[in-house]
Chain A
Amino acid sequence: MAAEDLPSEFDVVILGTGLAESVVAAACSRVGQRVLHLDRRSYYASNWASFTFNGLLTWIQQLQEESQPKEVPDWSSQLEEGEELIYLSSSDSSASICNLQVFCYTSEEDEEEQAPDTTEEETVRAADEDAVQEVSEAESAETREEEERRGADKGQAAQTAGEEPEAESHPHAAPSQSEPAKKKLSYAQLVKEGRRFNIDLVSKLMYSRGSLVDLLIKSNVSRYAEFKNVTRILTYRHGNVEQVPCSRADVFASRQLSVVEKRKLMRFLTSCVEETEEQTAYNGRPYLDFLCDQQLGENLQHFVLHSIAMVTADTPTEEGLASTRQFLRCLGRYGNTPFLFPVYGLGEIPQCFCRMCAVFGGIYCLRHSVHCLLVDKHTNRCKAVIDSRGQRISCSHFVAEASYVGAERKKVATPTRFLSRAVLITDSSVLASDSEQQVSVVTVPPIAAGCPAVKMVELCPSTMTCIPGTYLVHLTCQSIGSAYQDLSPLVTRMFRTVESHDKAETRPAVLWCLYFNMADGSGTEVEGHDLPSNVYVCSGPDGSLGHEHTIKQAEFIFHKILPDEEFCPPAPNPEDIIYDGETTAATGDTQEEEQSPQKQEEEETKEEEETKEEEETKEETKEEEHLQTEE
């Protein structure tokens, strides 16, 4: 069965199963194109993939092994009159992933529980001092940097204390009564429960009114997945993790803000919604200047700049305002924050689009690649491809993820930028609260001049990405150095590792962590490469929090291929599919699942669409009341 050949004729051949490629695949298949979708890896979603713990270990191992450039056979015998060959890149994802470093801070095997020893001088914190909280941890961290460097040897690290008290780092929490110490999960347990982890290579969130959510809903691909709200937005400053009030309810319930600040913040956020002349006067000038002139005060300025607009001090005002508006627009659609997260992780989303493609007849084959393109010399169009088994497959369009295209053919305007990533498995939340099931985004402004701003996402077990008793923490920033250089200072400050100060008991302990750099896809162009005109390049993940870049790119490619077709019209509801009863005479056992694309349900879909539109208008009028100021 493994030897079954692929069909030899398609409309669109797509290489790579990342988000952009998968959306293009679904969109093409949906409107009746014959799609062949391949990936040379053994898993879906390319650099957007999510892995079980064991799957991630395998992924790391494969990348660390020196990958010999595979020899590509000479396929020139397959050339026909007037054709030439273009070879694709044969190396694996190694070019897009580098600087992998793994640290394990928990014991290899189960250990005996030790007696709790709770001396928590750090937990009692001034609750009413709002702005400046002197925390010894933050200061001393500065001087520890050097030790960290030396202490951080790769691999299994020695262990500090064998127990830890329940994290109680909430500024307003009462000093904790010494709770019974939790038993620290061992590495063996992480491996044993490994299949219950879903660890994403990419850390992004879905804006509730962003283009990905809109597309999921519009296409009905949303029915393949479930989502959770991001429940809170946190920020890290003065060595503390604080909650950022962002919805109206939050603002008024906030205990960090004074009454005056609450009024100011509401007035400011309300005024942001509409563009005013006052705002446009600041165009080109830093957003920080604009915020300063709004007399918000240091507290609110920090919240708006870093946690709501999520920009840096030198971002131009028009950009900062646009981000602020996007944030506000997305509030209250599903929950208290503007963000959603897919249950089982982001790696589900490309798979959902692939399923939609398959449901409409697209053919899927992992561990299968394309070696070269056959190009018509006269038209400069790709006529066919040669797959990794030497089969000639004709196609009218070819789409490939950037890593399949050799560097010599890519148009490189700027040197490839990288993202620094860290993935931590921790034992408690960075900010303890009543509920253990919080999904948090933490914005971290540069901890020192020249350091990157870091976006952190903390996932709880109910997102089905980690096991009970753990949290999965993703850190992402634009890379300056290696991921370890960029992110480990912050990890040491916010969490407890072997390098941390011994007064760090209140912070979450890191059980295991991984650092790596991934190529930033935001610089890759769809066209303009040294490639035939009907070949399109999809970029890998970019560093922004949302998915706007990728979805825009996928839609652009789709319209290049099919200028007159609708992008991802809704798939029919299961209940609406009508089977016509013209059964032909039964002739044996040919109940094959093989099919050719049919458009029979297209008409039903149209009707459905109309009613959906009505619903949508209704929906829109129902919202937008979350941002009005009180009185």
Chain B
Amino acid sequence: MAIRELKVCLLGDTGVGKSSIVCRFVQDHFDHNISPTIGASFLTKTVPCGNELHKFLIWDTAGQERFHSLAPMYYRGSAAAVIVYDITKLDSFQTLKKWVKELKEHGPEDIVVAIAGNKNDLGDIREVPMKEAKEFAESIAAIFIETSARNAVNIEELFQKISKQIPPLENPEVESNESFKLTRQPAPSARRCC
């Protein structure tokens, strides 16, 4: 089965649980104390989708959103973005629009957008009605789901939904775009004889 690497970037205010969602998805683990943001360039998890394997490379903001200083390179080449808000904090929902705008400005044009209302285990102190969030998501053609990283609710589902929305791979021979990563191994040189 072909493995496809898909970059997913996380957006949303500080403290809404972005890292917790990744940690739950990748490690099936939830921890208040250890911050996976430290030292992790991105986390990976591979899930099957149809006759492909989707290897998610999930990029966290690394705290750069805290003082509104996310770098444009953060969005480069993302197949999908997950914008997270906290259902118990109205503020974090109100800033969604700002993140959507930011994504439109810096993100790739064909990016799949998902909106995740996290901490739905804390329904008793909910400030954001699900209906309202869902309507907003529909208005921008985004995936919508409420999650709980703490109780492992809808985390797998979130990424499954993203997987399904990723358009199937076009002709793999898009020759004009043969960019590569620098690794310790010499890259297979695309030397052509003229």
Does B associate with A?
yes
**Chain A residues packing against B (C-beta within 8 Å):** 1-2, 4, 6, 44, 195, 213, 216-217, 220, 222-229, 247, 249-250, 253, 332-336, 340, 343-344, 348, 351-352, 354-356, 358-361, 363-368, 435-437, 462, 571-572, 574-575, 577, 579-581, 583-584, 586-587, 589-595, 597-598, 600-601, 612, 615-616, 619, 622-623
Binding site for A on B (CB under 8 A): 13-15, 17-20, 23, 27, 29-44, 57, 60-64, 66-69, 71-74, 76-77, 86, 88, 91, 105, 119, 122, 149-150, 176-187, 189-194
Contact across chains for B37 and A593 when beta carbons are under 8 A apart: yes
Give every chain B residue within 8 A of A332 (Cβ-Cβ): 189, 191
Give chain B residues whose Cβ lies under 8 Å from the Cβ of A616. Answer: 184
Nearest-Cβ distance from residue A615 to partner chain B, whole angstroms: 5
A626 to B41, CA, bound (A): 35
Contact indicator A355/B64 (Cβ below 8 Å): yes
11 new A-B contacts, CB < 8 A, other than A360-B39, A437-B176, A577-B36, are A336-B191, A340-B182, A344-B73, A355-B73, A358-B64, A360-B38, A435-B176, A584-B33, A589-B88, A595-B63, A615-B184
Residues of chain A with a CB closer than 8 A to B71's CB:
44, 351, 354-355
**Given A217-B182, A348-B76, A355-B64, is A583 in contact with B31 using a C-beta cutoff of 8 Å?**
yes
Contact A351 B72 (CB under 8 A): yes
B17 to A: closest C-beta gap in Å: 5
Note all chain B residues with C-beta closer than 8 A to A462: 176-177, 179
- Whether B77 and A226, one on each chain, are in contact in the complex, defined by CB atoms closer than 8 angstroms, is yes
Q: From DSSP, what is the main secondary structure of chain A's interface residues? A: loop
Contact yes or no, B105 A587, CB < 8 A: no
- Using Cβ atoms and an 8 Å threshold, which residues of chain B touch A352? 73
Partner of A224, one of B13, B40, B69, B73: B73
Q: In the complex, what residues of A have CB within 8 A of residue B18's CB? A: 593
Top 7 closest A-B pairs, CB basis?
A358-B62, A365-B67, A222-B182, A351-B71, A595-B35, A351-B73, A226-B179
Q: Which residue of A lies closest to B182 (CB)?
A: A222
21 A–B contact pairs at CB < 8 A? A1-B13, A6-B67, A217-B182, A217-B183, A228-B178, A334-B182, A354-B71, A355-B74, A365-B69, A435-B176, A574-B57, A579-B31, A579-B34, A580-B34, A583-B30, A589-B122, A595-B63, A598-B38, A612-B184, A615-B184, A616-B184
Residues of chain A lying within 8 A (CB to CB) of residue B180: 226-228, 334
Query: How many Å lie between the Cα of A587 and that of B29 in the bound state?
Result: 15
Establish whether residues A591 and B15, one from each chain, have CB atoms under 8 Å apart when the complex forms.
yes
Interface contact A253-B76, CB-CB below 8 Å: no
| Cα A247 to Cα B193 with chains together (Å) | 10
Taking CB atoms, residues of chain B closer than 8 Å to A344 are 73, 76
> Whole-angstrom distance between the alpha carbons of A213 and B186 in the complex?
12
Most A Cβ at <10 Å: residue of B41, B72, B73, B86: B73
Given contact pairs A358-B62, A360-B39, A592 touches B72 in the complex (Cβ within 8 A): no
Known contacts: A358-B64, A590-B32. The answer to whether A213 contacts B182 by CB under 8 A is: yes
B36 smallest CB distance to A (angstroms): 7
Give Cα A616–Cα B176 distance, bound, in whole angstroms. Answer: 30
Q: From B41, B67, B77, give the contact of A359 (CB < 8 A).
A: B41
Partner of B19, one of A334, A360, A593: A593
* Contact A226-B187, Cβ < 8 Å, known A364-B69, A589-B88, A593-B18: no
A365 to B42, CA, bound (A): 21
Nearest to B14 among chain A residues (CB) is A593
B177: nearest chain-A partner, CB-CB: A462
Please give, as numbers and ranges, the residues of chain A lying within 8 Å of B66 by CB-CB distance.
4, 363-364, 593-594
Contacts of B192 in A (CB 8 A): 336
A222 pairs with B31, CB closer than 8 A: no
Separation of A593 and B63 alpha carbons in the complex (Å) = 6
B29 touches A334 (CB 8 A): no
Interface centre among B41, B74, B178, B185, by most chain A C-beta atoms within 10 angstroms, is: B41
Q: Choose from A581, A597, A615 the contact partner of B38 (Cβ within 8 Å).
A: A597
- Residue in A4, A228, A581, A619 whose CB lies within 8 Å of B184: A619
A343 to B72, CA, bound (A): 13
CA distance A225 to B42 in the complex (A): 13
Bound-state CA distance A195–B33 (Å) is 40
Determine whether the beta carbon of A571 is less than 8 Å from that of B182: no
Question: Are A579's CB and B15's CB within 8 A?
Answer: no
* Set A589, A591, A593, A615: member contacting B185, Cβ < 8 A: A615
Given contacts A364-B63, A579-B29, A584-B33, contact A574 B178 (CB under 8 A): no
Q: Is the CB of B67 within 8 A of A227?
A: no
- Asked if A366 and B68 sit within 8 Å, CB to CB, the answer is yes
- Which of A222, A594, A623 contacts B181 (CB under 8 A)? A222
Task: Determine the chain A residues whose CB is within 8 A of the CB of B182 once the complex forms.
Answer: 213, 216-217, 222, 227, 334, 340
For residue A135, give the distance in angstroms from its CB to the closest CB of chain B. 24
Contact of B76 with A358 in the complex, beta carbons under 8 Å: no
Contacts of B34 in A (CB 8 A): 579-580
Q: Is the CB of A359 within 8 A of B88?
A: no
Q: Give the residue of B20, B63, B77, B177 whose beta carbon is less than 8 angstroms from that of A591.
A: B20
How far is B6's CA from A592's CA once the two chains are assembled, in angstroms? 26
A225 with B73: CB separation less than 8 A: yes
Bound complex: CA A2 to CA B13 (Å)? 12
- Decide yes or no: A359 and B40 within 8 Å by CB, A4-B66, A612-B184 being known contacts: yes
Taking a contact as CB atoms under 8 Å apart, the answer to whether B187 and A334 are in contact is: yes
> Which residues of B sit under 8 angstroms from A574, Cβ to Cβ?
40-44, 57
Contacts of B88 in A (CB 8 A): 589
Query: What's the nearest-Cβ distance from chain B to residue A335, in Å?
Result: 6
Identify which of B33, B68, B119, B182 gathers the most chain A CB atoms within 10 Å of its CB.
B182
Residues on B with beta carbons closer than 8 Å to the beta carbon of A622: 186
Q: Chain B nearest CB: distance from A577 CB in Å?
A: 6
Query: Which residues on the B side are within 8 Å of A348 (C-beta)?
Result: 73, 76
Q: Are A249 and B191 in contact, with the CB atoms below 8 A?
A: yes
Which A residue's beta carbon lies closest to that of B20?
A591
Asked if A579 and B27 make an inter-chain contact with CB atoms under 8 angstroms apart, the answer reads yes
Q: How far is the CA of A380 from the CA of B97 in the complex (A)?
A: 49
Interchain CB contact (< 8 A) of A592 among B14, B36, B68: B14
For A222, list chain B residues within 8 Å (CB): 181-183
Nearest Cβ distance between residue B121 and chain A, in whole angstroms?
Answer: 9
